[in-house]
Amino acid sequence: MRDILAEIITKDITGDQAYELINTVVGKFHDGELDGELNFLLGMDNFEWAAFCHAMDLEVLAEWRRTGWPDVCSFCHSNLNFREYGWTIQDDRLRCLNCL
Ligand SMILES: [Zn+2]
């Protein structure tokens, strides 16, 4: 198992290398060479994985890991607790589902 975001934070890998690594791990996963949950193989929690699946930029996501997630919608500025879901990612920013 890797911790992709931690490796970006410590600058052990670049964002581009992170995407290559993910492609490799996903490929092995689909070939049946790796067992387990894909997000845990990559060291992402469920929220980070959801953001990544919404095309969130990995370097921005790593920054959120380091400094904490926003607690308001970036578009309408209403309070938002990412742990309760009800959000999506747009342009690498957190957006609530009420202002779609
Ligand atoms: Zn909003």
Considering the entire predicted model, what is its pTM?
0.92
Residues 84 and 100 in one domain: yes
Residues 83 and 59 in one domain: no
Residues 73 and 60 in one domain: no
Residues 54 and 73 in one domain: no
Residues 81 and 92 in one domain: yes
**In total, how many domains does the chain have?**
2
Sequential pLDDT tens for the chain (100 residues): 889 999 999 999 999 999 999 999 999 999 999 999 999 999 999 999 999 999 999 999 999 999 999 999 999 999 999 999 999 999 999 999 999 7
| Pair 47, 88: CB distance under 8 Å | no
Q: How far is the C-alpha of 17 from the C-alpha of 23, rounded, in Å?
A: 10
Residues 56 and 85 in one domain: no
Cα 34 to ligand 1 centroid, rounded to whole Å:
38
Residues 40 and 74 in one domain: no
Where do the H-state alpha helices sit in 1-100?
4-9, 15-30, 38-41, 46-53, 58-67
Neighbours of ion ligand 1 (CB under 5 A): 73, 75-76, 96, 99
Domain range for 92: 69-100
Cα 86 to ligand 1 centroid, rounded to whole Å:
10
